[in-house]
Structure 1
Amino acid sequence: MNRVLTVPRLQFVAWPSVVGWPWAILSLSFLINLAFFASMDGRDIEQTTGGLASIYVMMFIACINVITQDFPFAIGLGISRRSFYLGNVFSFGAQAVVYAGLLYLLAVIEEATGGWGVGLTFFGIPFLWVENPVLRFLGFAIPFLLLGFLGIAIALVFKRWGVNGMLTLSTATLVVIGGAVVLATWRGWWSAIGDWFADQSNAALLVGWPALFTLPLAVASYLIIRRATP
């Protein structure tokens, strides 16, 4: 257990890149949007922005960096692959919970202040809003876990199989997505696909499906790291 907890401590030595940059970029995005919409001086426009995505993108990048930069160092210190993996799960899982709690609080404040006094919707995006408080919290947290495990899995493919592994993964992804697009177009399924998404609840789109995809990514990452080269 001590080895597992050593991993988060190693990562948070460089806390500016782990915590500081994600929140600094999110804060900058928020302030720019706030200033922009305040300058509109009450004009009748749709004041909803996608700036919230910046912190999720930063989590994805941070998890890739953890594998590419910290993995060799941790193995060199005698930390096992299993301990390193579990330490990372604990670390970014805790971040996901804390970040989700802060985003939830900011969304509540945003709603209570009428969009920060200018009608800005930054944290509580309407089409992603979930009324149930628990599901709303999970709606912030689960996407963090999904992108975190996705970043770890991609970085581990590179560590395990190198450039050839990344090219193979990219090619397979392109073939699957491209093939799906061609098949849907050929069979005329786009209308049915659109109806299916429209029928899904916000909770399913933000919590259910992301959680379903997170589990196999977590399992695959654990299996790959057991044979990954630092």
Structure 2
Amino acid sequence: MTAVVTALPIDQASRFRPHEIWRIIRLHAVNPSILFGVPWIILGGAWAISVLIALIMTSAGVPPAEITEGMRYSWAVISPQWYLIAVGVQAVAFTFSFALGFGATRRDYWLGTSAMFLFVSLEMAVAIATLVQVEQLTNGWWVNAAMFDALWYGQEGWLVDFFTTFAMQLLVLFIGAGITTIYMRWRMRGMLTLVFGAVAVILVAIAALTFTESWPALAEWLMSIGLVGVFTIVLVKALAWAVAGFLVIRRATPR
């Protein structure tokens, strides 16, 4: 008598596979200039322009205090954010099909992509928060320039600068990636729905705040929760985009 033993198939897709996630991280790092080079080129260019402006104003006889105060309203410190939205788009658009081709599951892919986004956000948050401190210690790079010590930066210490940068970086990366998953899943119909839906929500919110005269109350509430509270909301939005992106990409069709 011959006994036949049939082994139950193992669902590999249901397992946590660190080696596959690491392969996705390495895939995103094939061209490191996209994630680590260009953002710093943008930031370095903005720094050079800021220092040059400070030098010109000093030569023109503008008092140092006025130079520093005027440059605090510059948006140069967040100049890489617009590019990082495009990075989020490219990260998914250029690698998703290839990753599935060499055996990665959609979950492996999204976890690996999220890990890379976390690393990029941490790296830039640590660097920018530190550069704020260096700029303050050197009195604006010895020329009274306020490139990093601008907007809300430099007011509540290194940890707050780190947290706000981290949350903002993560949000823009996942927005870019999430938008791309919507396009892959529903193509142009999905993109149009997203755009018109977002515009409708914004207009309804503006109308509601205007007709109920709630703008002062909103401003007062934002002031009451402070920078950490505001950017905690930003971080929650980033996590929401991350979860939404994963849910959408599970049924996305690479082409």
TM-score normalised over the length of structure 2: 0.84
Provide the rounded CA distance (Å) in 1 between the counterparts of 2:163 and 2:184: 31
- Alpha-carbon shift at residue 53 of structure 1 (Å): 1.4
**Hey, what does 1:3 align to over in structure 2?**
20
**In structure 2, what is the Cα distance between the partners aligned to 1:17 and 1:210?**
24
Count of aligned residue pairs for this structure pair: 229
Deviates more, 1:110-119 or 1:194-203: 194-203
Task: Tell me, yes or no, if the aligned pair for 1:130 and 1:139 is still in contact at 8 Å.
Answer: no
Tell me, yes or no, if the aligned pair for 2:71 and 2:150 is still in contact at 8 Å: no
Q: Contact 1:160 / 1:224 at 8 angstroms: preserved in 2?
A: yes
SS at match of 1:200: helix
Where does residue 220 of structure 1 map in the other structure? 244
Contact 1:60–1:150 under 8 Å retained in 2: yes
What letter corresponds to residue 184 of structure 1 in structure 2? L
105, 110, 128: which one aligns with 1:80: 105
How high is the sequence identity, in percent, across the aligned residues? 28
For residues 60 and 81 of structure 1, the distance between their equivalents in structure 2, rounded to whole angstroms, comes to: 21
Aligned to 1:12: 29
* Amino acid across the alignment from 1:131: E
For 2:55, the equivalent position in structure 1 comes to 38
Alpha-carbon displacement from aligned partner over 1:95-135 (angstroms, at most 9, x marks no partner): 11111111122111101011112222221325344525433
* Structure-to-structure mapping, 1:86-105, within 5 angstroms: 86-105=111-130
Identify the residue that residue 146 of structure 2 maps to in structure 1. 121
CA contact (8 A) 1:63 1:148 kept: yes
8 Å contact kept, 2:81–2:172: yes
Match of 2:177 in 1: 152
3-state SS of 1:191 partner: helix
Matched-pair contact (CA < 8 Å) for 1:130–1:203: no
Contact 2:130/2:158 (8 A) holds in 1: no
Read off the aligned partner of 1:152 and give its amino acid letter.
A
Deviation, 1:56, is 2.1
Shift of 1:153: 1.1
Q: C-alpha distance in 1, partners of 2:77/2:185?
A: 33
Distance 1:217 1:198 in 2: 25
Please, which runs of 5 or more residues in structure 2 have no aligned partner?
1-17
Quick one: distance in 2 between partners of 1:7 and 1:15? 13
Question: Is 2:253 the counterpart of 1:229?
Answer: yes
| TM-score, normalised via structure 1 length | 0.93
User: Partner of 1:56 in structure 2?
Assistant: 81
CA contact (8 A) 2:81 2:169 kept: yes
Q: RMSD across aligned C-alpha pairs, in angstroms?
A: 1.6
TM superposition shift of 1:62? 0.5
Counterpart of 2:199 in structure 1 is: 174
Q: State how far apart, in whole Å, the 2-side matches of 1:146 and 1:11 are.
A: 18
CA distance in 2, matches of 1:22, 1:56: 8
SS in 2 for 1:127: coil
